[in-house]
């Protein structure tokens, strides 16, 4: 393999007709170039969409109550019910593999704008009553002060963490909100921190205009009693929430005397399922990129095979001489296979380099014009590149196979006679 | 060294079959210099090809240096060619993108001789044919006689048991022909067995024995008094 004479010969043969070699190798370079660029574009789309999902724990479901649609155990249909705070512990106790079960209450949003007042400024925001874990399920960056903690929950402190958008509305520029008071529906809360959410899609503006207060304080201040508005439930990484949610909903039906087949009484949104749907789209995109790329590559490979056949034909006499001098058939075969692999791999590398340059160019263009919707840092991983190299080597081998066989098929005596 | 018994060979030409060799019996001892003569179509090249294991016989026995040559696979044939035989062709058959030295070193490469040793040996043989200064030249930069001398050096480099020359002077003018024959005679003087196929009487008489072939059979086999080629050079 690492034989100096063999490599010299490979170079001699391939450089003997430079233009032909270049044109042939262009076919392969082009194929691999297309493959790399397509994969990078797919990756860019994937990155962009993933960014829109943000850091939200995707193995999560949201669950809320609606009115029943079936009569059950003497209770009429059309009955409304609420989750209770005891349901949370019951879920934790009965359904394994759950990471977070966060009860939430909410003011504002679709229930009408929560009225927040500070001095002469007012605003309408979503007010959430939450446990500290929510920061793991709906991640945000605390930009000043702190987030809600367990002590706030236990002591039912009237404290609030406000979004960057709320701060901009209610405070003067440069004013520090931490330690000040805001009045939420007539109740005073002390601001203990501000947050910022990383989101670039349409909700971005809205997401910065939220106020988080301890769940317990919320219940007390706004007369929620034991009620829980909705829940955000996240499963551990190894298990799928889409599977676990069946158990959870069944448990809730039992606790609230809902007919086991009443599918409408408990509403839910399975983020994981939605995410998976998008994931499979990425998979399909990748498959299309591979298929198109490999098809284009294939035509390049056929070109190589063709040229190798011509090279073998041209060298028939030489091969005859070599065999008369005692070169063994496998050695000739190996020589031609190596020429073919070398040509394919080198042209493939050129394609990869050009593909990388184009990707690099697109990236710096994206950097200079700022973020584009649903497209972010297209790239190919080193795994894909080494995969491409593997494909190339195998392709080179296949391309050389027929020519190599035809080289040793001619009997030496006939090979010597050709001019 | 070479022993052939009742060798037959025919070629299929469409529906007809052409019987080229019709029972050849032939022996050559070590150190002999044999000319095989005959008009075109007499079967002399076919005989040489069979002796060179480039072609197989239909029937008959062939023994080379005590080794029976029969039903060889291509790999085995290549091995034997490399070990036992050196070829000199009418059209030289040098590889045109390799220098004289590389051409001579080629059979050694197939033997797996290390690079350095190979080049030293090749240079030694080039020196023997008087072309040491031309070692780095490509065949296209050499004259016909020089090319044939390189080819002879190449054939000798692997130190074969038998040298087979198919019309070695066929493409050369008479002066260079004699030069080449002089070289062949000198190699023979060192004790090498050489078979020369030719149709030129004067070349044949520079050998020690002449075998006449006609229509696929040996019609005459005689020892001759060798004419030294250096008289003419």
Digit-coded pLDDT (tens) for A53-111: 666 677 889 999 999 998 898 898 889 999 999 999 999 999 998 999 999 998 876 54
Summarize pLDDT for A133-186 with one digit per residue, the tens: 998 888 888 999 999 999 999 999 999 999 988 998 899 988 899 999 999 988
Asked if A328 reaches chain B (Cβ–Cβ under 8 Å), the answer is yes
Structure tokens at B228: 């030294």
CA distances from A196 to A139, A166, A210, B78 (A): 9, 10, 10, 78
Q: Which residues of A touch B54 (CB under 8 A)?
A: 324, 411-413, 416
Summarize pLDDT for A263-290 with one digit per residue, the tens: 889 999 998 888 888 888 888 888 988 8
The dihedral formed by the CA atoms of A34, A36, A41 and A47, expressed in degrees to the nearest 10 = 170
Asked if A206 reaches chain B (Cβ–Cβ under 8 Å), the answer is no
pLDDT of residue A2: 59
Report if pTM > 0.80.
Answer: no
CATH number for the domain including B61? 3.40.50.300
- Cβ atoms of B34 and B208 closer than 8 Å: yes
State the average pLDDT for chain A. 87
ipTM above 0.85, yes or no: yes
State the pLDDT confidence band at A26, using cuts at 50, 70 and 90. Answer: very high
pLDDT of residue A200: 54
Q: A409 or A130: whose pLDDT is higher?
A: A130
For residue B162, the surrounding DSSP H or E stretch is strand B162-166
Q: Which residues of B touch A416 (CB under 8 A)?
A: 54, 89, 93
Count contacts between A and B (CB, < 8 Å): 61
Test A324 with B93 for CB contact under 8 angstroms.
yes
Test B75 with A329 for CB contact under 8 angstroms.
yes
Summarize pLDDT for B174-215 with one digit per residue, the tens: 888 998 999 999 999 988 999 999 988 889 999 999 999 998
Domains in chain B, number: 1
Distance CA A279, CA B125 (A): 71
Nearest by CB: B78 against A323, A411, A413: A323
Locate the chain A residue with the closest alpha carbon to B85: A325
Structure tokens at A23: 């044109």
Distance CA B173, CA A350 (A): 52
Distance CA B100, CA B150 (A): 6
3-class SS of residue B170? coil
Nearest chain B CA: its distance from A321 CA (Å): 7
Can you count the helices (H) and strands (E) in chain B? 7, 10
pLDDT at A250 over 80: yes
Residue whose entry in the numeric block shows the structure tokens 């040298």? B163
pLDDT at A319 over 70: yes
Domain range holding B42?
Answer: 2-231
Ranked by mean pLDDT, the top range of A54-58, B38-42, B219-223 is B219-223
Asked if A141 reaches chain B (Cβ–Cβ under 8 Å), the answer is no
State the pLDDT confidence band at A112, using cuts at 50, 70 and 90. Answer: low
Locate the chain A residue with the closest alpha carbon to B96: A318
- Cβ atoms of A326 and B107 closer than 8 Å: yes
Asked if B75 reaches chain A (Cβ–Cβ under 8 Å), the answer is yes
Distance CA A157, CA A179 (A): 13
Asked if A251 reaches chain B (Cβ–Cβ under 8 Å), the answer is no
Test B110 with A4 for CB contact under 8 angstroms.
no
Q: Which residues of A touch B89 (CB under 8 A)?
A: 416
Summarize pLDDT for A332-385 with one digit per residue, the tens: 999 999 999 999 999 999 999 999 999 999 888 888 887 777 777 888 888 888
Asked if A321 reaches chain B (Cβ–Cβ under 8 Å), the answer is yes
Asked if A11 reaches chain B (Cβ–Cβ under 8 Å), the answer is no
3-class SS of residue B224? coil
Please name the residues between 106 and 135 in chain B that touch chain A, using a CB distance below 8 Å: 106-107, 109-111, 115
pLDDT at A199 over 70: no
Q: Which residues of B touch A326 (CB under 8 A)?
A: 78-79, 81-83, 107, 110-111, 158
Asked if B97 reaches chain A (Cβ–Cβ under 8 Å), the answer is yes
State the average pLDDT for chain B. 90
Share of chain A above pLDDT 70, in %: 95
Asked if A261 reaches chain B (Cβ–Cβ under 8 Å), the answer is no
| Mean pLDDT (whole number) for A16-22 | 89
* B164-203 exposure pattern, b = at least 16 Cβ within 10 A, e = fewer: bbbbbbbbbeeebbbbbbbbbbebbeeebbbbbbbbbeeb
């Amino acid at each position: 393999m690492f034989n100096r004479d063999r490599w010299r010969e490979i170079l001699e043969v391939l450089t003997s007709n430079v233009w032909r070699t270049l044109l042939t190798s262009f076919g392969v370079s082009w194929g691999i170039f297309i493959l790399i660029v397509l994969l990078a574009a797919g990756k860019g789309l994937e990155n962009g969409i993933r960014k829109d999902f943000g850091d939200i724990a995707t193995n999560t479901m949201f669950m809320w109550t609606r009115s029943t649609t079936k009569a059950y155990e003497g209770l009429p249909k059309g009955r409304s019910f609420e989750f209770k705070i005891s349901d949370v512990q019951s879920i934790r106790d009965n359904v394994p593999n759950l990471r977070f079960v966060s009860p939430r209450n909410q003011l504002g949003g679709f229930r009408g704008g929560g009225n927040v007042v500070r001095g002469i400024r007012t605003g309408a925001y979503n007010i959430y009553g939450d446990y500290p874990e929510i920061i793991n399920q709906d991640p945000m960056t605390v930009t000043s002060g702190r987030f809600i903690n367990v002590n706030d929950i236990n002591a039912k402190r009237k404290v609030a963490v406000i979004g960057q958008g709320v701060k901009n509305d209610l405070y003067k520029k440069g004013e520090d909100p931490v330690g000040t008071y805001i009045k939420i529906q007539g109740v005073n809360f002390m601001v203990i921190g501000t947050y910022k959410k990383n989101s670039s899609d349409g909700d971005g503006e809205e997401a910065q205009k939220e106020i988080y207060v301890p769940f317990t304080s919320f219940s007390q201040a706004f007369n929620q009693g034991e009620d829980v508005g909705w829940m955000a439930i996240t499963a551990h990484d190894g298990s799928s929430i889409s599977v676990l949610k069946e158990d959870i909903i069944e448990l809730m039906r039992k606790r609230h005397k809902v007919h086991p087949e009443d599918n409408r009484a408990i509403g839910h949104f399975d983020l994981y399922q939605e995410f998976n749907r998008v994931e499979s789209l990425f998979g399909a995109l990748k498959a299309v990129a591979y298929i198109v790329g490999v098809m284009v590559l294939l035509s390049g490979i056929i070109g190589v095979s063709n040229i190798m056949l011509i090279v073998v034909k041209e060298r028939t006499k030489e091969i005859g001489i070599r065999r008369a001098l005692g070169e063994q058939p496998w050695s000739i075969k190996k020589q031609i296979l190596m020429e073919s692999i070398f040509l394919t791999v080198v042209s493939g590398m050129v394609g990869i380099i050009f593909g990388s340059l184009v990707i690099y160019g697109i990236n710096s263009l994206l950097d200079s014009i700022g973020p584009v919707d649903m497209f972010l840092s297209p790239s190919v991983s080193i795994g894909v590149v080494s995969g491409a190299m593997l494909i190339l080597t195998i392709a080179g081998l296949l391309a050389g196979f027929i020519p190599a066989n035809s080289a040793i098929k001619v009997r030496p005596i006939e090979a010597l006679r050709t001019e | 060294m070479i022993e052939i018994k009742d060798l037959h060979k025919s070629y299929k030409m469409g529906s007809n079959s052409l019987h080229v060799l019709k029972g050849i019996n032939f022996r050559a001892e070590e150190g002999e210099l044999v000319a095989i003569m005959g008009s075109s179509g007499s079967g002399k090249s076919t005989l040489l090809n069979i002796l060179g294991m480039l072609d197989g016989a239909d029937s008959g026995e062939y023994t080379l240096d005590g080794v029976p040559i029969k039903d060889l696979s291509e790999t085995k044939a290549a091995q034997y060619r490399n070990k036992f035989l050196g070829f000199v062709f009418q059209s030289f058959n040098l590889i045109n993108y390799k220098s004289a030295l590389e051409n001579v070193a080629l059979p050694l490469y197939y033997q797996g001789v290390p690079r350095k040793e190979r080049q030293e040996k090749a240079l030694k043989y080039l020196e023997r044919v008087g072309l040491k200064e031309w070692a780095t030249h490509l065949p296209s930069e050499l004259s016909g006689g020089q090319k044939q001398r390189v080819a002879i050096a190449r054939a000798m480099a692997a130190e074969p048991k038998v040298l087979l020359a198919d019309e070695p002077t066929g493409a050369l003018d008479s002066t260079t022909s004699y030069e080449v024959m002089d070289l062949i005679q000198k190699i023979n003087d060192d004790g090498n067995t050489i078979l020369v196929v030719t149709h030129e009487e004067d070349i044949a008489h520079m050998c020690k024995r002449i075998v006449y072939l006609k229509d696929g059979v040996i019609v005459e086999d005689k020892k001759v008094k060798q004419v030294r080629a250096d008289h003419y050079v």
